[in-house]
Chains A and B, each alone.
Chain A
Amino acid sequence: MWVLIAALGCRDAPERSAPRTEAAPRPAGTRPAQRLDRSAFDRALTELFGFDGGFAADLPPDETAFGFDNQAAALSVGAAHAEGWEAATLAIAAELLVVHDETTESWRVEGEGPGVSYAGDGRTLDGTSYLLFDGSITATLGLAADGDFVVEARVAGQEALGAPVLEVEVDGQPAATFVVTGRDFHTVAATVALGVGTHTTTFRIANPSAPDASPRRAVAVDRITLTGPTAPEVGRSPAWRRVVPCAPAGDPSAACTDEVLRTFGRRAWRRPLTEAELAWARGLVDRASAAGAGPDEALVTALRGLLLSPEFLYRLEPGPDVGERALDGYEVATRLAAFLWSSVPDDALLDAAGAGSLSAPGGLEAEVYRMLADPRAEALVDDLAAQWFDLRDLQLVAPDPGTYPDFDEALRASMEEELRHLTAGFFLGGRPLGSVLLADATLVDARLAEHYRVPVTGAVAGEVFTGRTGLLETGGFLTVHSRSDRPSAVSRGHWVLANLLCAAPPPPPPGVNQAIALAADEGSVRQQEEARRAEPTCQGCHAAMDPIGFALGGFDGIGATRTMDELGWPIDAAVTLDGDAVTGGAELAAWVANDPRLASCAVTQTLTFALGREVTPADAAAVEAITRRFTDEGSTFAALAVAIVTSPPFLRKAASTEAP
């Protein structure tokens, strides 16, 4: 949480400043080979094969540096990496080679049958069907093929003040609803797209009667069937057909194998393969054939070789030996895809790189706009925003259940949704950076609305006015920056300085009491904290941090509003920041939004992520130019992204002089 990007000593801090970064042994503008971080590895494979991810699950956590997971210098490789990478390629190979048959699975619903479970109020009818009042029936179905499947159920209804409505969910997502009329068994059906694996289908009544009503609405279910795939997904998987279009049914010719190696190699290595590299890949096909692999498996083995090569697993930008050089089109495309998609370029971007259109006037701008409009750009929220705004920490906090009995996993999830939505407004929604701090309406669901004490009815999710202002008053932010049993003014203030203004105070000296034990009768929490930190050693930094946190004193450790602190004293949220009188979160947000450091800090953070390296004092001119363009053009993320990808640090690379 301490980001020492522009590590400043604190005002009047005696004899103690943070270690400085100017002693960097590398010149500005270079970074070593950048290993794909977990997110990039997963997304790259998803891009190449169209799978649904999960490939990085068994890789070790990435090293973080400067607040991000993708910093080339820090990312290392240990024994577990080759293993995790190989396991992923073996899993992919297996899925490429599988031949899907049509699947039909059928479950009789009669008591506690295997694969079927019941919840809530219902009962078995004559041992042949199940009568549902307000509970649910869940059937777990295993599929061996991707495609469209028909979910069917045989049902009969019992009406009471209207017909029962039967909801069908597949894997927790609504799939269909049926109005069940008639007391005779009949079949209802819905079509859903499913992939290989295990799925759950759940049937429940959407409009149950009250438990004491008589008669009650009910639905009897006596059979659930899953048939498919109905679309022609039988045979080779879509992944195979995507990668080997010249032999969709398998058994590729030599020419087809060549074509696949060329096309797939270009996608995976983000540049065309040389003839020597193609010969190497072909050689792997031959080696596999000699080891007893058939044509399909031999080809897949060569694809595994391409994926396990450093050219896939690292972003390599060799040279120059001295001075600096411009990156070529493919290298720029690779950086673009890493920055905006946390992935590899798609064919369109590779084509643009090959045609030289990235270096044509307006070429980069056009790509940025195209890429930001693409769904893959959601990676910006998952990675850049999540790391910059520490959204992931929300999963790690553990509020003390004794102090905060209201906190539960549903609330945690709702808080996370709100934070993602708020940051997505800037990264994807075209809103200015200030909106993250100043938004007066956010995505609030019923659980969060209850927490915020704003009237929202039903489970409808949408943007509503919450009476709260932006990030600093979200439940998520406030919860993350609290101790487990009380809010932390220091943590809240420190985060704002470090992550929004790039003015992180240094860590505390040794031996200090970092969490002040509160006395019951010595004034408010704020007064006691101020008194304890009055000594000069503490005051230098805490004078900058604490007032920011005190302005948020009206929120407890899980972000609920409060008027009294934990000792029962009234909250005093009035502070002075750089001579400005500020009271409460809304004024604080306005103060931060008006601070000129906000824009340049946003540039530094985004540039650190985009380059995969530390932003050093040697980049100062570039940061300034990018900041000017960013603020001149409405402070939108698109403006920021364009300014970054057209800047020298993004397009050029200097020689490395670092000795190993």
Chain B
Amino acid sequence: MRTSRRQFLRAAGATLWLPFLPSAPGASAAAPDPVRRALWFYVPNGFLASALTPAEAGSRYTTPEPLLPLEALRSRATIVSGLRNLSDTAGERYGFGSHEACSASLLTDVPLPSNYYAGAPRLGTSVDQFAVQRLRPSTPYASLQLGTGEPWLHAGGNVDTYYDRLSWANDTTPLATLVDPRSVFGRLFAGADPAATAAELERRTVLRRSVLDAVHERSTALAARLDAADRQKLDQFTTSVRELEQRIEGLAAVSCAPPDEPAPALAFPDRLRAMTDLIVVALQCDLTRVVTFAAGTTTATTSFPFLGISTDHHTLSHNFAYAERDRTDYLRVQSWYVEQFVDLCLRLAEVPEPGGDLLSSTLVSLVSEFGDGSAHVASPMWGVTAGGESAGLRHGRHLATAGTPHANWLRAALDFLGVAPDGFGTHATGTLDLR
């Protein structure tokens, strides 16, 4: 029964998929403004800043050995070091480990509330959503939150949300991460039905809209009877439905050929690869312009048998300070993640666009919550920014900062996207200049 259901889903929508034209992704030809995109690639359990930071600043740096995979992208990437996450405070307050303080503040620059173990999760708007809410993109998906679904150490209590939600629409709405490549494929390419006539597709769209209009009437009628806590939940619902309505409109304007459906039950490296393939397609087809991708959740216990490493990622991140073998393996794992990031950037670079390629219109940031996983500290934070040359970004260098708030780096992405960064970042003191 599952088969027929999936087949139907792909036949249900309002979109006529046309042969894919690589040089004309959606709005780029029509819109007067150049298309700008942003992608955050998150790696859990820290980058060991001390081992990945070149000794020299500027363009004549020597690449540290664990960072060698970045050489393939050197001319199109900037290493950013020395940043401080000033919102990593709950750990200090409680005196113990704070994976969640660092992961939650990574894209929000909002510290955990002081009593965050109690009540519903609450934080603040993340940089990607800050951008989306101001850009109000016309793409079918305002943004995508994608992950790999790797196992991690659930914390229990009410705090799990702070571990595995990087994107927040507002202070009470963490955004769920989709982790199954087939499910994401189904989302992105639902509605393809070459057999249906245009009139039939239009009729289906009208019916879908009627239902969603009626549902809005229900929420409005209901809202009057509910108290504040219920209404907060209902607001999330209403927003979700409204976004779906916009998507139904938006998808009708997109022409793009769906790729092959990912295979089921992929092992970790293949699952990561499948998901990043979908990211490339989503950006290429202009289905969205803002993506956060989490290669895992903080405390991820991913294992790496394909690297010949038997210790899990979280354990490695603590043990490297004590055992040479674990240190070597921890760095090999980080090299591997850097390689995946580089690989994704190079796939973006293979897609030609007017005046450049997909990478030159996309700011891709490699981020992690810790600069030292064993010590559970975010700072000094280490990361990489790549692409985005269409806005004049210069690369091939190591940008060594001396304690610049990491929010300034996040704001650089807002600046790139053409969003005024004012109001973003609890501790921002400006905007990091990547030009």
**A binding-site residues for B, Cβ under 8 Å:** 1-5, 7, 15-16, 18-26, 30, 32-33, 35, 51-52, 54, 57-58, 60-61, 63-67, 71-74, 76-83, 86-87, 89-91, 94-95, 195-198, 280, 283-284, 287-288, 291-293, 297, 301, 304-305, 308-311, 313-314, 316, 318-319, 321, 393, 396-398, 400-403, 483-485, 498, 504, 506-517, 614, 655-656, 658-660
Contacts and interface: CB of A to CB of B under 8 A. Distances in A.
A23, A58, A504: residue with the most chain B Cβ atoms closer than 10 Å: A58
Contacts of B142: 79
Given A26-B119, A400-B305, A511-B376, A504 B156 contact: yes
B138 interface: no
A489 to B, nearest CB: 14
Contact of A16 (B95, B173, B210): B95
B63 interface: no
B196 interface: no
Contacts of B303: 398, 400, 484
Nearest to B118: A24
Contacts of A287: 210, 213-214
A46 to B, nearest CB: 11
A483 B312 contact: yes
B206 interface: yes
B95 A80 contact: no
Contact of B305 (A89, A316, A401): A401
B96 A291 contact: no
Given A291-B207, A517-B319, A32 B157 contact: no
A288 B203 CA distance: 10
A656 B186 contact: no
B363 to A, nearest CB: 22
A298 B218 CA distance: 18
Nearest to B324: A517
18 contacts: A2-B156, A18-B117, A33-B230, A58-B180, A63-B165, A77-B237, A77-B240, A80-B176, A90-B9, A94-B5, A292-B206, A293-B207, A308-B215, A308-B241, A318-B226, A510-B97, A510-B375, A656-B228
Given A308-B212, A393-B151, A2 B8 contact: no
Given A64-B154, A82-B243, A515 B318 contact: yes
A162 B210 CA distance: 67
A613 B12 CA distance: 37
Given A79-B175, A83-B244, 4 more contacts: A19-B116, A21-B157, A26-B119, A514-B318
Interface string B150-172: 01011111111100010001001
B151 A396 contact: yes
A616 to B, nearest CB: 9
Contact of B115 (A23, A52, A485): A23
A76 B212 contact: no
Contacts of B115: 19, 23, 25
A314 B223 CA distance: 13
Contacts of B426: none
B374 interface: yes
Interface size on B, as a range, is 35 or more
In the complex, the 4 A-B pairs of residues with the closest C-beta atoms, listed nearest first:
A60-B176, A510-B376, A73-B120, A3-B156
B96 A64 contact: no
A71 B186 CA distance: 28
A4 B117 contact: yes
A81 B310 contact: no
B147 to A, nearest CB: 9
Contact of A65 (B158, B183, B244): B158
A18 B311 CA distance: 28
B140 to A, nearest CB: 10
A547 to B, nearest CB: 22
B429 interface: no
A397 B247 CA distance: 38
A86 B211 CA distance: 10
A78 B120 contact: no
Nearest to B218: A309
A24 B318 contact: no
Contacts of A23: 115, 118
B134 interface: no
B278 to A, nearest CB: 14
A512 B391 CA distance: 44
B419 interface: no
A514 B319 contact: yes
Contacts of A284: 210-211, 214
B211 A280 contact: no
A575 B17 CA distance: 67
Contact of A77 (B151, B178, B206, B236): B236
A54 B2 contact: yes
B238 to A, nearest CB: 9
Contacts of A614: 118, 158
Contact of A30 (B187, B229, B247): B229
Contacts of B211: 86, 89, 284, 301, 304-305, 308
B75 interface: no
Contact of A74 (B161, B226, B315): B161
Nearest to B116: A19
Contacts of A94: 5, 8, 12
Contacts of B326: 517
B213 to A, nearest CB: 8
Contacts of B197: none
B227 A656 contact: yes
A77 B232 CA distance: 11
Nearest to A19: B117
B435 interface: no
A49 to B, nearest CB: 11
Nearest to B171: A660
Nearest to B243: A79
Contact of B3 (A30, A81, A198): A198
Given A32-B230, A287-B210, A517-B323, A91 B9 contact: yes
Contacts of A54: 1-2, 5
B321 interface: yes
B208 interface: yes
B257 interface: no
A655 B228 CA distance: 11
B210 A288 contact: yes
B261 interface: no
A197 B2 contact: yes
A659 B233 CA distance: 13
A420 B165 CA distance: 30
A301 B210 contact: yes
A4 B157 CA distance: 5
Contacts of A63: 121, 160-161, 165, 174, 176
A22, A71, A316: residue with the most chain B Cβ atoms closer than 10 Å: A316
B98 interface: yes
B401 interface: no
Given A32-B229, A483-B312, A513-B321, A2 B154 contact: yes
B157 A514 contact: no
A196 B4 contact: yes
A28 to B, nearest CB: 12
A318 B224 CA distance: 10
Contacts of A310: 218-219, 222, 234, 237
Given A305-B214, A660-B229, A66 B158 contact: yes
B231 to A, nearest CB: 7
A292 B95 contact: no
B217 A280 contact: yes
Contacts of B165: 63
Contacts of A86: 208, 211-212, 244
B179 A61 contact: yes
A514 B315 contact: yes
B172 A660 contact: yes
A514 B375 CA distance: 11
A5, A63, A396, A656: residue with the most chain B Cβ atoms closer than 10 Å: A63
B225 interface: yes
B322 A291 contact: no
A67 B156 CA distance: 5
